[in-house]
A and B are shown apart, each in its own frame.
Chain A
């Protein structure tokens, strides 16, 4: 058993609005002239330290936690679960 660091990134699904991202983009970034940036999406980041026999198992555990405990709401959110590089 070893400790694996697993990252969870939660964002709004593509069809769901992201007012925070839109406001940061429109009222801060564009207003200050950085038109090179065409969009901003925001999300929540979690870093979990998991004791497991393999990185695959660690990822499986984190995915299960996110589903069962409603860490994200599958109706509105997408999640990305990945091993920390």
Chain B
């Protein structure tokens, strides 16, 4: 039975939500692991959930990225263990250098919590195995520092090779450059996104006019852990 670790830092608050979806909705084995007790080699996949690790002090994700737990993830990159970063988890992956770019303060200067419409570009790897190119996924965002930034050179290379999640026209909640909502490593093994797929995995949590677009990410993982990617 594949084992998934949900790493929890001081201030992480979406860990139980992710576990609920992985265990009760998708039927996988998942455990919340306190960052001090996390070692990468016991797990088949790792999720860094949302929240406010270390209060988002200094910069969101900046302090968590310097913990032993995250350093191990960086060192074990070549092991090819699937890593998903959701919201604060995405911020941590970016601060740790596992994903390119930076996440800055929303252009409105305010925290924003609302449902958005996104679409997948170039699905690749374990987290997007069941998603199709161009597939529309509805999910809620809830963040203050979600404005994606990347320099032009790096963006050009991203565009050619990496899986991406983008806000549909009119749904960009924070001024992200190129409407980027999420980005993956070229092989798709590491994937990070600002929207919360765990909040969009069950039909009756989706408000009128939206559908639960987050579920495909967790179901892709389940599929990939069984069949490879």
Q: Do A and B assemble together?
A: yes
A residues with a Cβ closer than 8 A to B are 19-20, 23-24, 27-28, 31-32, 42
| Min CB gap A46→B, angstroms | 15
Q: Which of B55-92 contact A (CB under 8 A)?
A: 55, 57-58, 62-63, 66
Nearest A residue to B9 by beta-carbon distance? Answer: A27
Contacts of B10 in A (CB 8 A): 27
**Cβ–Cβ contact B54 & A23, under 8 A:** yes
B residues with a Cβ closer than 8 A to A are 10, 54-55, 57-58, 62-63, 66
24 intermolecular pairs with C-beta atoms under 8 Å apart:
A19-B55, A19-B57, A20-B55, A20-B57, A20-B58, A23-B54, A23-B55, A23-B57, A23-B58, A23-B63, A24-B57, A24-B58, A24-B63, A27-B10, A27-B54, A27-B63, A28-B54, A28-B58, A28-B62, A28-B63, A28-B66, A31-B66, A32-B66, A42-B57
Where chain A touches its partner, the secondary structure class is helix
Where chain B touches its partner, the secondary structure class is loop
Known contacts A19-B55, A28-B58, A28-B63; 6 further A-B pairs (Cβ under 8 A): A19-B57, A20-B58, A24-B58, A27-B63, A28-B62, A28-B66
Contacts of A24 in B (CB 8 A): 57-58, 63
Contacts of B55 in A (CB 8 A): 19-20, 23
